[in-house]
Chains A and B, each alone.
Chain A
């Protein structure tokens, strides 16, 4: 049913992603679909690395650990955005097409008043991509 699963990750909040990561792994097993973990960073140094290569290394280590945990093949992809806070939705949408994902699984927050002003990243992906999007509450 699904041939490529994309899982956007925020490595600063690994605990809050656990449920979504496990769900993605279950779906990957069920449909024999590989997972690609996608992380977005800026060119400027950030808390996950002084430069994007450090971020990429951490993302790769994360992907390797998840692959080992679930015993499945997975890849990682770093995306660089000039202004991640505002560009993340557009960058993730582009990445869905780029890697040919037909299912996106991602953690999301409980809805609150801010969703009236700007939607969650998962909501934006559902609106702007052809992939199925599964949002997992933490």
Chain B
């Protein structure tokens, strides 16, 4: 006799959508067992091929550093200049597709079935969205990019307000300020979030509504059918693991160098490999604790704390800086973004190729190479939202927050440069000599209480790395366990530690730059993958109850 209370379960997806009727049962290709005292449950062959190919590429980068640097150092700019039209065009498709879904009848489809309720509050959800995929970038580029685009890269040919002798050219100031903010917001607004939203929506739809495992290959069921359980799926999942782990490890390596530069600037700490290895060890250690505490007890809590501190820093800079000018910058930047988005998105006949290839196409490849990781993480925490709510919350609101962040941090920095061109530390580190890792601290120096805010800045940089590292480890673990979210705990420990170890080895032996360039190169095949995902989402939504 049983007494199963039906209200305890997750509501059944309703209507014609039903579940995809597949012969595949989750975990059927997994190998389960014990390695000494440690249990494991991994997908065969994705776990093994991912792990071995990562080790092989690390060896390649260490054994033949000059060749690796030459190959990947050439590959990245070649891709972003040759396939600029493809990256820019595809990103435009993603934005248009997301906006279409908001107004379409399929916006009413609920992820997880008609009766599903959200697993997380808005605050917890937003905190995890930012902390996983973009927080660290906002810290690094918030000051650097607006100033750089205003003064140096000249997007759409808008002239710099700073002459060669360092003097200000008054007639160029307003247009350059607006374009500096607009060109930055373009890289942190609708387009990157649309890239994440497409991947996240595809995975959430095919997992929560169609009943397929939470792994990248599932999104391709409408295209490849049962073949996704074979080598087509193995390749897609392996590529996702590969891009995610190297993306995280190389960012961690570079991040340690940046944090070390910040610590040297603020505290006078030595800037060397030993300190950087220590930083990676500390970051990995905290990420391990977070991973062991799990999604709710670790990742979510840390993300919320981090977003709280970031919001406080934002408010402080807003109030301590020229508040009214910042508000004016916010609206002027937003207006300029809206006004310039079409010409900035146009891949054809552009004269500002330094900006378009060096920044835009690079950024799109970067966001796309990160999208399997961030998208899958967003998918996992988005059950219970309607498609419309999902797109608005993943696309529009984060874009607005990024506009605000860039307007505040970039606006204050631009104001410092233009008000005091000879004494501005921002000008020294961004325009006169390119030391991007110090740009944030240089801006904070121009405000009161800089010794405190700089420490907060260093802490935020470190904790944002932790929140990327822990969520990335969860994602890699899920993919290499064939979509199982309840694989043994030691596997998470393995991936988190492996990521830190790869970062340390590449930091000591060299090869961070080469392998980061390689990760960004994976943006090209993934762009095609994302375009196919749009089609798969559309096909998947057609059979959903609205």
Contacts and interface: CB of A to CB of B under 8 A. Distances in A.
A116 B451 CA distance: 42
B8 A77 contact: yes
Point out which of A42, A44, A86 has the most chain B C-beta atoms below 10 A from its C-beta.
A44
Contacts of A118: 292, 489
Nearest to B218: A45
Contact of A43 (B27, B296, B383, B487): B383
A113 B37 CA distance: 6
A44 B207 contact: yes
A47 B30 CA distance: 10
Interface stretch (B78-86, B135-143, B163-171, B208-216): B208-216
B290 to A, nearest CB: 10
Interface string B289-319: 0001111111000000000000000000000
A67 to B, nearest CB: 6
Given A76-B4, A118-B489, A44 B27 contact: no
B485 interface: yes
Interface residues of A, number: 35
Interface stretch (B9-17, B173-181, B279-287): B9-17
Nearest to B486: A84
Contacts of B292: 86, 118
Contacts, number: 117
A87 interface: yes
B25 interface: yes
A133 B324 CA distance: 64
A74 interface: yes
Interface of B is mostly: loop
A101 to B, nearest CB: 14
Contacts of A55: 9
A6 interface: no
Contact of A45 (B26, B293, B295): B26
Interface in A7-56: 42-47, 50-53, 55-56
A50 B488 CA distance: 20
Contacts of B485: 42, 44, 46, 83-85
Given A56-B9, A85-B488, A45 B212 contact: yes
B9 A78 contact: yes
A63 B2 contact: yes
Contacts of A87: 294, 296-297
Interface of A: 42-47, 50-53, 55-56, 59-60, 63-64, 67, 73-80, 82-87, 112-114, 118
11 contacts: A46-B27, A47-B27, A47-B484, A51-B211, A60-B4, A64-B2, A78-B8, A80-B10, A82-B296, A85-B488, A114-B38
Give me the 10 closest cross-chain CB pairs, A-B, nearest first.
A86-B294, A50-B211, A47-B27, A112-B37, A75-B3, A83-B295, A60-B2, A83-B294, A84-B486, A52-B9
